[in-house]
Chains A and B, each alone.
Chain A
Amino acid sequence: MALEPEGKRKWTIGRILAVAALVITGLIVLFVGYCFIALSQLG
């Protein structure tokens, strides 16, 4: 089976989930302090 060229590998469910998990948890880590402030304003 021919290997796919580097950088052109197909999107798979695993890759999509990995991107989503990295981006979402990254933003949470970065902005968790602001989330507390926003929640306290709502409360």
Chain B
Amino acid sequence: MLPTLFHIGSIAVPTHGFFLTLGLAVAALIVLAEARRRRRFGSDIVLIVAGALFFGALGAKLSTVWRYWELDPTPSFFEAIAQGGKSILGGLAGAYLGVLLIKRLIGYQGSTGDMFAPAVALGMAIGRVGCFLTEQVGTPTSLPWGIRVGAETAARIPTCPGCGPGVAMHPSFLYEIAFQLLMFGVLWRMRDRLPVAGDLFKLYLLTYAVFRFFVEFVRGNEYLWEGLSGSQLFLIPSTLLLGAYFVKQMSRGAYRGGAAGLTPAAEGGR
């Protein structure tokens, strides 16, 4: 709908890239501010945030390389990285693994997930503005808040059967922006209240996985198997793993006694 946000001289600033960068910057700043509030700011945390960015970028790009391979069966690795898309789920998985790897490399044993959780939610809300303005809107709907696009935009949505000029479509990215903003508020309020360090991020991932599974039905993404998109096929085992973690924690009595309220000192080493 709006591929170019503005121009700097003769260079067009892409809308998607602009909001993606803004979302990443805001998320990084919130993590660092949280680290300072918890008196854990230092070179370790900055390295961990940088690692999350690098491995998140790698995960986002590599998880969509197969789409480019479908168009060109013999691309170079460089072409696939340059021309392929980006996936936020691949980015989240890459960033999560990257944080684990960097922590292991530098010997950092504290939990960092609680610092990342609200930051990631707000960063995603900002980044999704870019998606809303540039990507396929959603599947057709008769709901009153459906969004209509012009013929030129509809022509750029080849994978959405039924999408066309004047057809109302689900504003799927607006649903996600609303969800992420709500999650940011909830996670921000809960950030010192969970009894187990690191659970805030896992709770966010589980909630997002469930939300994303259902919102995929109105995204209009390509089906891969039995009416499910690639994202949904990735989300099923991810949700089960996260759910199993919380069931195990509950069966061990980790949450018995309610929210204890974490002090910065209580978090170290877990």
Contacts and interface: CB of A to CB of B under 8 A. Distances in A.
Interface of A: 6-12, 15, 18-19, 22-23, 25-27, 29-34, 36-38, 41-42
Interface of B: 10-12, 14, 17, 20-21, 35, 40-47, 50-51, 53-58, 60-61, 81-84, 86, 106-110, 268
Contact of A41 (B10, B53, B58, B83): B10
Chain B contact residues: over half helix, strand or loop, or mixed? helix
B17 A31 contact: yes
Given A11-B43, A29-B57, 18 more contacts: A7-B42, A7-B108, A8-B42, A9-B42, A12-B43, A15-B46, A19-B50, A22-B50, A23-B50, A26-B53, A26-B56, A29-B58, A30-B20, A31-B21, A32-B81, A36-B82, A37-B14, A41-B11
A12 B108 CA distance: 16
Given A6-B44, A15-B43, A34 B54 contact: no
Contact of B47 (A6, A15, A36, A41): A15
Contacts of B60: 30
A31 to B, nearest CB: 6
A32 B82 contact: yes
A39 B10 CA distance: 11
Nearest to A15: B43
B113 to A, nearest CB: 15
A12 B50 CA distance: 16
Nearest to A12: B43
A33 B81 CA distance: 8
A4 B42 CA distance: 11
B14 A6 contact: no
Contact of B17 (A8, A12, A34): A34
Contact of A29 (B10, B47, B81): B81
